[in-house]
Structure 1
Amino acid sequence: MSFKTLVEFESGGERCAADLYIPDSDHRAPVIVMAHGLGGTRAMRLDAFAERFVAEGYACLVFDYRHFGESGGEPRQLLDIKKQLEDWKSAIRFARSLSRVDSNRLILWGTSFGGGHVLATAAQDRGIAAVISQCPFTDGLASSLTLSPLTSLKLSALAIRDRIGALFGAEPLMVTTAGQPGTLALMNAPDVVHGYAAISTGTNAPNYVTARFALDIVRYYPGRKTPKIQAPVLFCVCDTDTVAPSGATLRHAQRTPNKEIKRYADGHFEIYVGEAFERVVRDQISFLKKTVPVD
């Protein structure tokens, strides 16, 4: 049995909404801080992972970034790398303040864009006990090259218009998050629309973000921080990943001092559902039990 509570914490003057899962135990449990990827919210299948972890005796704090989901922040759907990294720090600080968890055994779990964020965060915080980085975004150039030159050019033009407009108080310009091949979207590989729909079913998550983000993605390289991470890291890498190419991820993963690498013949979105989900969550639980065992 476990207990799930809606909680909130402050980050950058705004409210972040989160689900706190506490196992029914007399002991203070290790706590896993969790968040999603590009444009994602905690309602997009993160509960499935958290429920499996809490069944093994781990507490989980699963949060939405500012400007997304049930968290505060205007404009909505603003994807800002610096703010999201601040949200991770705020979530960690909040988790460490909880009386029902063991703050000395704090684990980071991130997926996709969040999988990159946990690497950058763990490289700065030596108090992290372990990290799970699932199908992670590690290399801005590698991910940018998954789009055609024409799409990249159109995205850049829209992003520049959005950023200039923001300086003058204009309404944000949005870009589709997951689109069909050839369309103007941040992700438009053949498997993207179906995969994104599979994890969005039953949610009200918009399929768009502010266009200005396209100017930042190529300059973000969280994978370069891996040599500085002291905690053990599990990399869950999808060999056929069309969003976060596995070649770049594996190069960065190999430079991590204390790492375990699991590879899957699945796509970027497949590991959230079905048999692929069962495989990856089983490996993640095994890693947790080895590195941060429950009392």
Structure 2
Amino acid sequence: MHSYTVEPLYVKSDHEVIAADFYRPKSIEKPAVILMAHGLAALRHFKLVQYAQHFAQAGYAVVLFDYRYWGGSTGRPRELVSIEAQLDDWRSMISHIAERKSIDAKRMILWGTSLSGGYVLSLASRLHNIAAVMVQVPFVDGAESAKLYPLQQLPKALKISSQDYMGAKVGMSPKTLAVVAQKELCFLPTTDSYAGYMSIVNPDHYWSGEIPARVFFNLIRYRPIQEVRQINIPVLFIAAQRDSLIPIESSRETATNIAPYVQYEEWDMQHFDIYHGEWFKKVIQTQLEFLQQLFGVQ
């Protein structure tokens, strides 16, 4: 087990500044590096620190960041989710890491969960300086996930999304929608999502629980599944069989499209189980074994 330091890191992305934590093992001169960020409307402090700590103890450098508009990063309106901007933030962080002398940029791994899992699959299909990808319960097909949204609520969600999008064009204040809620209209209305999402929220960090509604339509149109055939690096893909947000059939089809480069696993769990208890222990063990097969013991 390696000791490590955690340093603040600030990286420019377009006109904004991305806040990150840089975990660096003390005893390894140029370690492999894992780049991490969270899923929909989540901060890096929502259960991702526990992953970063385990990776650093195993001898890997880790850069864990917040997207623009979130957490310690700059940008307004606050708590805006923009798929395009968040993908740009990933590219900015990748470019920054590639230039750092204290790590081995040739061994850069992208790590994603839920929506960020979709991001890193998209990026791995386009970029050529990535060594491997690890995704857990990744968002792979917005069109298919939309079919799980309650049919009677879908027109209302699309309407407020359209209103917010058009209002933003003329400088109006955002129309927001709850990320999760027990009874009201929200982004993630499935039966296990409220308790599941709230189980990862860190009360020590500000989080309103609402985001501008304009991203709803963009999420439906975001389909990493259509890009993954271009991936030609090792991918660890862990799916939840009882995922109420991502159809297991979509995960299976995506993994098939990545073959033969994918190590695909299905576990009998729900979407948010992977952050807790025995499932968390299992995912850390599985991810570290995958890395060891690629790079050997750090």
TM score, norm. by length of structure 2: 0.96
Of residues 272, 277, 280 in structure 2, which corresponds to 1:277? 280
Q: Compute the displacement of 1:284 (Å).
A: 0.7
Q: Compute the displacement of 1:265 (Å).
A: 0.9
Contact 1:129/1:292 (CA < 8 Å) preserved in 2? no
Contact 1:35/1:62 (CA < 8 Å) preserved in 2? yes
How many correspondences in the alignment? 294
Instruction: Report whether the alignment pairs 1:64 with 2:66.
Output: yes
Query: What corresponds to 1:126 in structure 2?
Result: 128
Instruction: Report whether the alignment pairs 1:247 with 2:249.
Output: yes
Which structure dedicates a bigger proportion of its chain to strand? 1
Structure 1 residue runs without a partner (length 5+): none
Q: Which is worse superposed, 92-101 or 16-25?
A: 92-101
Corresponding residue SS for 1:178: coil
Q: Compute the displacement of 1:26 (Å).
A: 3.7
Contact 2:79/2:211 (CA < 8 Å) preserved in 1? yes
Distance in 1 between residues matched to 2:28 and 2:235, nearest whole Å: 28
Query: What corresponds to 1:197 in structure 2?
Result: 198
After the TM superposition, list the runs of 4 or more consecutive aligned residues in structure 1 that deviate by more than 4 angstroms.
none
Q: Compute the displacement of 1:56 (Å).
A: 0.8
Query: What corresponds to 1:183 in structure 2?
Result: 184
Q: Compute the displacement of 1:197 (Å).
A: 1.2
Of residues 209, 225, 228 in structure 2, which corresponds to 1:226? 228
Q: Amino acid of the residue matched to residue 67 of structure 2?
A: Y
Query: What corresponds to 2:75 in structure 1?
Result: 73
Distance in 2 between residues matched to 1:80 and 1:64, nearest whole Å: 13
1:40-97: CA deviation from partner (whole Å, max 9, x where unpaired): 1100011000111111100000010111111111111111111111111001111112
Corresponding residue SS for 2:80: coil
Distance in 2 between residues matched to 1:34 and 1:292, nearest whole Å: 18
Query: What corresponds to 2:239 in structure 1?
Result: 237
Distance in 2 between residues matched to 1:140 and 1:174, nearest whole Å: 20
Instruction: Report whether the alignment pairs 1:45 with 2:47.
Output: yes
Q: Compute the displacement of 1:167 (Å).
A: 1.2
Query: What corresponds to 1:83 in structure 2?
Result: 85
Query: What corresponds to 1:116 in structure 2?
Result: 118
Q: Amino acid of the residue matched to residue 194 of structure 2?
A: V
Distance in 1 between residues matched to 2:253 and 2:116, nearest whole Å: 18
Distance in 2 between residues matched to 1:35 and 1:292, nearest whole Å: 22
Query: What corresponds to 1:166 in structure 2?
Result: 168
Distance in 2 between residues matched to 1:148 and 1:3, nearest whole Å: 46
Contact 2:161/2:217 (CA < 8 Å) preserved in 1? yes
Q: Which is worse superposed, 198-207 or 122-131?
A: 198-207
Contact 1:130/1:292 (CA < 8 Å) preserved in 2? no
Structure 2 residue runs without a partner (length 5+): none
TM score, norm. by length of structure 1: 0.97
Of residues 258, 262, 265 in structure 1, which corresponds to 2:265? 262
Q: Amino acid of the residue matched to residue 271 of structure 1?
A: I
Instruction: Report whether the alignment pairs 1:208 with 2:207.
Output: no
Q: Compute the displacement of 1:294 (Å).
A: 4.5
RMSD: 1.1
Q: Percent identity?
A: 34
Distance in 1 between residues matched to 2:240 and 2:46, nearest whole Å: 19
Query: What corresponds to 2:139 in structure 1?
Result: 137
Query: What corresponds to 2:8 in structure 1?
Result: 6
